[in-house]
Amino acid sequence: MQEALEKMDAIVEAEWHLIGPLQSNKTRVAAERFDWVQSIESEKIARRLSEQRPAGLAPLNVLIQVNVSGEASKSGVDPAEVAALCESMSKLPRLRLRGLMAIPEPGADAARYRELRALFEQLKGRFGLDTLSVGMSDDMELAIAEGATLVRVGTAIFGQRQNIRTAA
């Protein structure tokens, strides 16, 4: 969050997407400063974002993060729980539920992408979803072939990210 805020102050004309786990104590800043939050995984976080989104701003675009691979180390909602979360989030006034996001494990086969796309297609008409955010620099061709409408390609553009944290 801190790194993003520094960049946001330096670059004014941009649409800002927050990707990654969002803690309850950071929802106000996210609601006030970002245009998109791509990693919603609980009704609690969604509710806080809706309550804290300033009235003068457009509704916050949000995606539900789906754990398509079932990895314990990955964030996201189990695919079986996504429809219920969509239902509750669609009623929150300061949010605009746009779709689903996932980060499949490295080297995942096309089946993982197809599962996510099938879930997206199942919910699309019911909730007006228009965004399927899946894939990154290493798997963008597969993700696009399997229906991604948004692909995260920072590494392809900027190179491998350096760890900016230092040991205390």
pLDDT per residue over 45-73, tens digit each? 999 999 999 999 999 999 999 998 777 76
pTM over 0.95: no
The candidate with the shortest Cα–Cα distance to 62, out of 99, 21, 28, is 99
